[in-house]
Amino acid sequence: MGKNRNINQLIHHSDKGSQYVSIAYTERLREAGIEASVGSTGDSYDNAAAEALNKLFKKEVVWREGPWTGRDAVEFATLEWVHWYNNTRPHSYCGDLAPAQFEDHYYTEISRPAVVGVPL
């Protein structure tokens, strides 16, 4: 999460896949204070950005690092990947900067005083 964002109202949106509606999964979300939101079944166009991110996660973590030794291994790899994705991995929408670099640049720029009345 960015350092200037409020994380008190997180929502996890997913399809109705069995892993997302299981009791254990929904309990983990509730314990973490995250609201579950479930979309329509099998509709990848419902949220194309989320589907693309899920595919990227599977490609970069699930298929590359498996087979898994247990749930803890999957959770740890997921935490590492999310941190790397949110802070280090370059993103095209950020001008090929890492999100943390882009955010730092943004807040540096908006905190600079505006130059007014300078003749051209």
| DSSP class of 62 | I
Mean pLDDT of the chain: 80
Among 8-22, 27-41, 50-64, name the most confident range. Answer: 50-64
Identify the pLDDT of residue 24. Answer: 82
Mean pLDDT in residue range 73-79? 92
- Cite the beta strand spans of the chain per DSSP E: 11-14, 35-38
CB–CB of 102/110 below 8 Å? no
- Among 19-28, 42-51, 92-101, which stretch is predicted with the lowest mean pLDDT? 42-51
Whether the per-residue pLDDT at 88 is higher than 70: the answer is yes
Tell me how far apart the alpha carbons of residues 47 and 118 are, in angstroms, rounded to a whole number: 47
> How many Cα neighbours within 13 Å face the side chain of 100?
10
Structure tokens, 75: 């959770």
Entry pTM: 0.50
